[in-house]
Amino acid sequence: MRDPQPAGVRRPALLGAEARKIMLGIALITLVLFGQQLYGRATAAGRLDPALAGAPGPHHVIVVLDFMPDRFHNERIAEYGVFAGRDGALSRIRLRNVGDESLARLAAVAWVARIEPWK
């Protein structure tokens, strides 16, 4: 089969230089806006203790953070269950009555290090 264009003739680019810059800008803005949520969802299974994965809810859990939480973090975590204090360190937060759906959403929060069962 023959190539429809003779040798040495360049095909026009699908997108011009300006269109590529705009597309790159849109991709970067999307990454900034949604990157943390996408990363959190992609790595959520690694944060959840295997004992919690198949167990029926509601769950009593300990949310472990790798940093000292501020008021924002405490309030955000309390949205997923009933705040029940600390588990030794300030970065270990106890939650009661965390439903299955809330547990999955909590595991998708990118700044949560681990979610362990509260025994």
Res 119: pLDDT: 81
Residue 83 pLDDT greater than 70, yes or no: yes
Residues 6+ apart with CB under 8 A from 10: none
CA distance 9 to 5: 7
Residues 6+ apart with CB under 8 A from 91: 64, 65, 66, 67, 68, 69
CA distance 60 to 76: 17
Residue 104 pLDDT greater than 80, yes or no: yes
Per-residue 3-state assignment (H helix, E strand, C coil) for the chain: CCCCCCCCCCCCCCCCHHHHHHHHHHHHHHHHHHHHHHHHHHCHHHHECHHHHCCCCCEEEEEEECCCCCHHHHHHHHCCCEEEEEECEEEEEEEEEECHHHHHHHHCCCCEEEEEECC
User: pLDDT tens across 67-80, in order?
Assistant: 999 999 999 999 99
| Residue 49: closest CA among 116, 100, 118 | 116
pTM, rounded to two decimals:
0.73
User: pLDDT tens across 9-65, in order?
Assistant: 666 666 788 888 999 999 999 999 999 889 999 998 899 999 888 778 799 999 999
